[in-house]
Amino acid sequence: MRHLKIIPLLFPLLILTSCIETMELPSTGNDNPTGISEDKDAFIEITPRWTFSKLGISSLSDMETTEDGRLYLADPVNHRISVVRPSGRRETGVYEPLQQLSFQGSPLSPVSVTVDERFILYFTNRSDTVYAWFQYLNMAGVEGIVTSFDYRVDGEIVTEKPYIGEFTEGYTRLDHSEVLNSDPALIDSLLSIVPLYTSRDKSNREATIDPIDGSVLGNNPIYASIQKSFIAVADESVESRHIAVMDSLNNRLINFKLVPTYLLKLNNGFFVWHFKGVYDNLLASEGTGAGTISEPNSLYSDDNGNLLYTQFGNYFGFHKLRSGMYTTAFTFGTDDIMDLGRFKSPMDAVVGDDGAIFVLDSTHNAVLKFSPQGDFQKF
């Protein structure tokens, strides 16, 4: 019944634009979905067959696939994120912290999960916090936390904290000059599940300076103070250090920036930063037009950092925002993917290797395929 609400909005629009001409609204025409199970040529069955019981999953709310083929399955009922190989075997060992998600003794129920190219895993649990697990740090092991390096500055040797020396022009780090803090408790805390971005944190209420590029972050006390429900998370790009988050309670899409905190020396000799998230921008807000938010339920980023999301509210079930600019990529009346009534219950959207867009519609029991330009191709 939701699509019927289009009528009162469009009626005055037609009167204002023309008194004698009529406007034909784009529709889905004769496109009739036949359902996933009826298209044997388009969909193949995964073998060996997986069952939730064998994987130890009670409820699946989200799934992430990484380049190595591993699947990260968010199970809010069991408070876990199961990592599964393509063969169906569940990963153990270093992944065990994901089997019982908690923070300070309270269980966490993940509803969304994503993994960026740094191999940092992010998840949300409908609270105002984005949690993270630094997978690469756990796999490599940490020798210690760098407290200082020696740097060459204008011909002199100075000792400085990495937070300053690494980002100050004219400072050249001297090899093997690091001083390490090897406190096991501190290291363990950084390797555990951490609240990476908490919107009510002081760094988001007040101005926070990014030490890498000098940009001003945070400084949004109003949004920091209101209640939120983060239901989806997606990384934008490694270069921008931005992570996008969907707030369903306030119909907002925001992003935060990864700001370096601790510099860790790994057992393999590499130095890697630990981060915290600080609010940066409001990307999209409540509305009914292209690029706005209304009852969102998914969020996805493609290889170029473009953001795609689906929603149940009026009037468009699918949206795509261009990377960096966050302007809408498709236009109502021009692109098939923005046709009114195109989607009934758009649950999720992903992008293929060739740029094709796939939208899962649960009411149609179908996956709709569109070209990168938004032209409808097939069910």
What average pLDDT does range 195-207 have in this prediction?
A: 97
- pTM over the 0.85 mark: yes
314, part of any domain: yes
* Structural domain range at position 218: 2-134+185-378
28, part of any domain: yes
Q: How confident is the model at residue 76 (pLDDT cuts 50, 70, 90)?
A: very high
- Res 20: pLDDT: 30
Read off the tokens for 191.
């390797």
174, part of any domain: no
149, part of any domain: no
Read off the tokens for 76.
């809010």
Answer whether residue 193 shows pLDDT above 90.
yes
Measured distance CA(359)–CA(379) in Å, rounded: 10
Q: Tell me the average pLDDT of the chain.
A: 89
163, part of any domain: no
145, part of any domain: no
Q: Which of 238, 258, 128, 131 is nearest to 192 (CA)?
A: 131
What average pLDDT does range 316-329 have in this prediction?
A: 96
Answer whether residue 185 shows pLDDT above 50.
yes
140, part of any domain: no
Answer whether residue 215 shows pLDDT above 70.
yes
pLDDT tens-digit readout, 261-271 = 999 999 999 99
Measured distance CA(225)–CA(206) in Å, rounded: 12
Answer whether residue 12 shows pLDDT above 70.
no
Measured distance CA(160)–CA(171) in Å, rounded: 10
Q: How many independent structural domains does the chain possess?
A: 1
- CATH code of 330's domain: 2.120.10.30
216, part of any domain: yes
- Res 31: pLDDT: 60
Q: How confident is the model at residue 17 (pLDDT cuts 50, 70, 90)?
A: very low
